[in-house]
Amino acid sequence: MKRSKSGGRLFGTNGARGVVGVDMTPELVFSIGAAFGSMRRGKIAVGRDTRTSGEMLLHALKAGLLSTGCDIVDCGVLPTPALQFLVRGEFTGGAMITASHNPPEYNGIKVIDADGTEMGDNETAALERLVRSGEFAIQSWDGTGKETAEPDSVGRYTDAIVARFPGSPGKGMLVAIDTGSGPACRTTPEILRRIGCRVLTVNGTMDGTFPGRQPEPSEQGLAALSALVVGSGADFGIAHDGDADRAVFLDENGRYVEENAELALVARYICRRRKGAIVTPVSTSRLVGMIAEEEGCGVVYTKVGSINVARKMLALIREGKDVVFGGEGNGGLIYPEFQFCRDGGMTAAMMVAILAEEKKKLSAIVASLPRRFMIKGKISAPAGHAVLAALSREFARDTIDRLDGVKIIRGESWALIRESGTEPLVRIVVESPDQEQAASFYKEVTAAVQGSLERKGSRKKR
Ligand code: MG
């Protein structure tokens, strides 16, 4: 059986993904289903996004789960956060056939725990071992599971979001939505209509070939949405990724709102109502910390990855701390009062509430945020961990944070250097309140990385 073309790890930070028919086959998905069923038993909710290979892989997943005696509830085509919402409380787990933002030829699986979060690292490693060993708890003829369907999977999710925004905050607002031919076609337009908005859509029909744009809602891919916003005079535009756990925005001029600014705007709205911690990865703009502090809240940093953010939020709450909000600077925002996963539908509704409160244009609200300048790059580095160790020594005069990679903090500026998990390279992000300062800091860090690589190279030659 083909497992992973590279022979490497099956599960990355957001589940297992691969090209359908090459890395991602029905045999593999059956094994993941049988392994997950062996671990969790009980009742499992399953669903999928709109990809053309979704039906095939969902059948394989169901067969795996049923063979181990699990009962399954098919929730159909729905956003990942909608499935996560349904799982919490009622199921021993969930599994979503999706490749999120990857191109149409990809598919994959996100495994969800009983609390609605994506499965954590240790459990995922155990699941992966079980897939590789093939030692599943397969049941005999009288022990296999039963399948039922949840007829209103999407309705329960949309109802729950709408209930959080009473009083039609969207009254008088026109919103343009690019649902990207994904499962958000079933949710976001309805949510926004029900909280009072008038809604226009582009790529609004579910289609797994993604004829209008790629599932990644990149600035370049949103030209049609931008034209719709400008042409219709919409108050803002919104676009989702392929499974609608992320949401990104365009202002009323059709211009892309940088995702850290989005995170900061939502943080400010929430921190004005509740005090506590915001949880976000070390790669997030300092902007978010500045906004949180202004409103009397604090920031707790985590390793990069939404699952790390969600699990940290849960851990802090278990310790009795107040946690008001979490998220990454990529449009993936987590609302702990609702659920502990990234939620594109909630984020869409949240932007309506923000505009209703501020009574200003979105471009003006974004312009009111402190300015920050970010530079991102990458350098080919075969042994990234040695480079990171050298950098910690070289920048010892600055504050060094080793939570994830090396973060060099110098006054209001910072640089983050991390090893790539999949390629032999290090990624560099530098941020500063001043453009020139950002450029010179970036140059300094890049030179240090290259210097360390050259020293290692010349030592090898000797
Ligand atoms: Mg996604």
pTM over cut 0.75? yes
Q: What is the pLDDT of residue 6?
A: 43
CA of 174 to the centre of ligand 1 (A): 25
pLDDT at 26 over 60: yes
pLDDT at 209 over 60: yes
Distance of CA 212 to the CA centre of its chain: 22
- Tokens 């009980």 belong to 42
CA of 342 to the centre of ligand 1 (A): 8
Q: Which helix (H) or strand (E) holds 423?
A: none
Task: Give φ, ψ of 423 to 5 degrees.
Answer: -130, 155
Task: Give φ, ψ of 335 to 5 degrees.
Answer: -115, 100
Residue 239 Ramachandran class (φ > 0 left, ψ -120 to 50 alpha, else beta): beta
pLDDT at 2 over 70: no
CA of 329 to the centre of ligand 1 (A): 13
CA of 100 to the centre of ligand 1 (A): 4
For residue 316 the two structure tokens come to 């802090």
For residues 193-197, give the mean pLDDT. 98
Lowest mean pLDDT among 20-34, 334-348, 366-380, 421-435: 421-435
- Tokens 């397969």 belong to 138
Residues 6+ apart with CB under 8 A from 368: none
For residues 127-150, give the mean pLDDT. 97
Q: Give catalytic status of residue 232 as yes or no.
A: no
CA of 215 to the centre of ligand 1 (A): 9
Say if CB 264 and CB 287 are below 8 A apart.
Answer: yes
pLDDT at 436 over 90: yes
Residue 216's pLDDT band (cuts 50, 70, 90): very high
CA of 339 to the centre of ligand 1 (A): 16
Say if CB 49 and CB 77 are below 8 A apart.
Answer: yes
Q: What is the pLDDT of residue 5?
A: 43
Given the residues 53, 100, 226, 432, select the one marked as catalytic. Answer: 100
CA of 14 to the centre of ligand 1 (A): 8
pLDDT at 407 over 90: yes
CA of 17 to the centre of ligand 1 (A): 12
State what percent of residues in the chain have pLDDT above 90: 90
